Structure 1
Amino acid sequence: MDALLREFGTEQQHASVVLARVHALSLAPVEGRSGDLVWQVRKGDYDRATQVDLRWGLHRLTFDTPENASTLDMVRAFERRLGDKNEPMAFSAIADHVSRLTPSQHTGLFHDLAMAAEEASAQQDDAQCLRDNAPWQAWLTGASRAGHEAALLACIGMGASVRMPDASGNTPLHHAARFGHAHLIKPLVDAGADVSALNGQGWAPLHLASLHRHARACDQLMRNGADAEQPGWRGRTPTRMHQRERSYEQAQAL
């Protein structure tokens, strides 16, 4: 919470932005210090073991530890790494330093590492729950309609699909085009949005931008591959729709 307050201050943020940042912070390694030894513990993805990164000055030793490791398990994992025959002398400086710790310091170090491994595992479980259960797809649709780029990027980063249509067949790119949010076009396309996708009424995003006279959105769509002559409902193209709207405006002016 303190990290979020330092980062965002009192400025109001969309829930997706805050929760995406919470997710990122939950995946950060757990850090600590024991005397002049510093360490980081990170839970591995999927079936990968928890990894401990132990440093003393310029020297570094990295080793894997089992799930739910006790203090003794942590000691054994450390000793197994020191016994790696492929690198017999690589970690001698840290090994010598650890061997000179008093019994209480030695126990305290590996107890702290075991507790950090438990904390890292719990944080990753929380992060996965957050990723799986927050309404990222609905928030992506809302961000596309509202023109909220930070929320849009947060939802994409959390796995929301830029190609998934809503109940009316509109993708996030359709919504961005419909409401003239030109600044969202490239981020959506970069994330894999299809500029030629047709919604339930047979319109591509460029059709909607043309129909609602959003010139900058039209320009951005065409810069990113949209076809001004793509046929939509009843064969109508964005060019034809634009010309029709322009003729209508001229008639109204007269």
Structure 2
Amino acid sequence: MDALLHEFGNEPQHTSVVLARAHALSLAPVEGRRGDLVWQVRKGDYDRATQVDLRWGLHRLTFDVPENASTRDMVRAFERRLGNKNEPMAFSAIADRVSRLTLAQHTDMFHDLAMAAEEVRAQRADAQRLRENAPWQAWLTGASRAGHEAALLACIEMGADVRMADASGNTALHHASRFGHAHLIKPLVDAGADISALNGQGWAPLHLAALHKHARACDQLMRNGADAEQPGWRGRTPTRMHQRERSYEQAQAL
């Protein structure tokens, strides 16, 4: 929480942006130090064990530790790594530095490492719950309609599906196009949005942008592969819809 307050200050942020950042911070390594020995403890990718990255000056030693590791488990994992016969001289500097700790210092350091490993495990569990339980898909739709790029990117980062349609068949790209948010089109397409998807009424995003006279959105859609001659409901194309709107406006002017 302190890190989030420092990062965002008093600037108002959409909930999705704050929670996506909280998720990222929860996956960050836990850092600590004892004198000139410093470390990072992090959860390995996928099913890999928790890893400790122990450093002294330019020397570095990395070793795996089991789940729920006690202080004693941490010491054993460290000693097993030192006993790797394939690298007999690789970690002699760190091994020598650790051997010169007093008994109390030795115990305190490995206790701190065990506590850091537990903190990493708890944070990882919190991050997983956050990803699974927050309404990222609904927030993606809202961000697309509101033109909120930071929120949209946060939702995509957290796994919201840009190709998923709502009850009316509209995807996030349909909503962004309907409301003329040209700046959202490329991020959505880059994330895998279907530029030619038809909604429940038979309109593609370009149809909606043309219908509501959003010229910049039309331009961005076509720059990203939209077809101005794509047939929609009753065979109508975006070009035909645009021409019809122009003809209507000219008649109104007369």
TM-score (norm 2): 0.99
Match of 1:15 in 2: 15
Summarize the alignment of residues 142-153 of structure 1 with structure 2, pairs less than 5 Å apart.
142-153=142-153
Q: CA deviation at 1:45?
A: 3.0
Match of 2:184 in 1: 184
Match of 2:40 in 1: 40
Q: CA deviation at 1:177?
A: 0.1
Gaps of 5+ in 2: none
Q: CA deviation at 1:88?
A: 1.1
Match of 1:215 in 2: 215
| CA distance in structure 2 between the partners assigned to 1:46 and 1:133 by the alignment | 20
Deviations 1:178-204 (A, max 9, x none): 000000000000000010000000000
Match of 2:28 in 1: 28
Match of 2:165 in 1: 165
Q: CA deviation at 1:46?
A: 3.2
Summarize the alignment of residues 190-209 of structure 1 with structure 2, pairs less than 5 Å apart.
190-209=190-209
- Aligned positions, number: 254
Q: CA deviation at 1:44?
A: 1.9
| CA distance in structure 2 between the partners assigned to 1:85 and 1:154 by the alignment | 46
Q: CA deviation at 1:35?
A: 1.1
Summarize the alignment of residues 80-91 of structure 1 with structure 2, pairs less than 5 Å apart.
80-91=80-91
Match of 1:58 in 2: 58
Match of 1:102 in 2: 102
Amino acid at match of 1:140: L
| CA distance in structure 1 between the partners assigned to 2:47 and 2:221 by the alignment | 42
Deviations 1:196-241 (A, max 9, x none): 0000000000000000000000000000000000000000000000
Amino acid at match of 2:64: D
Match of 1:229 in 2: 229
Match of 2:248 in 1: 248
| CA distance in structure 2 between the partners assigned to 1:32 and 1:123 by the alignment | 16
Q: CA deviation at 1:15?
A: 0.0
Summarize the alignment of residues 128-139 of structure 1 with structure 2, pairs less than 5 Å apart.
128-139=128-139
Match of 1:116 in 2: 116
| CA distance in structure 2 between the partners assigned to 1:137 and 1:87 by the alignment | 49
Gaps of 5+ in 1: none
| CA distance in structure 1 between the partners assigned to 2:252 and 2:135 by the alignment | 44
Amino acid at match of 2:143: A
In structure 2, the residue corresponding to 1:64 is in which secondary structure?
Answer: strand
| CA distance in structure 1 between the partners assigned to 2:16 and 2:232 by the alignment | 34
In structure 2, the residue corresponding to 1:33 is in which secondary structure?
Answer: strand
RMSD of aligned alpha carbons = 0.5
In structure 2, the residue corresponding to 1:42 is in which secondary structure?
Answer: strand
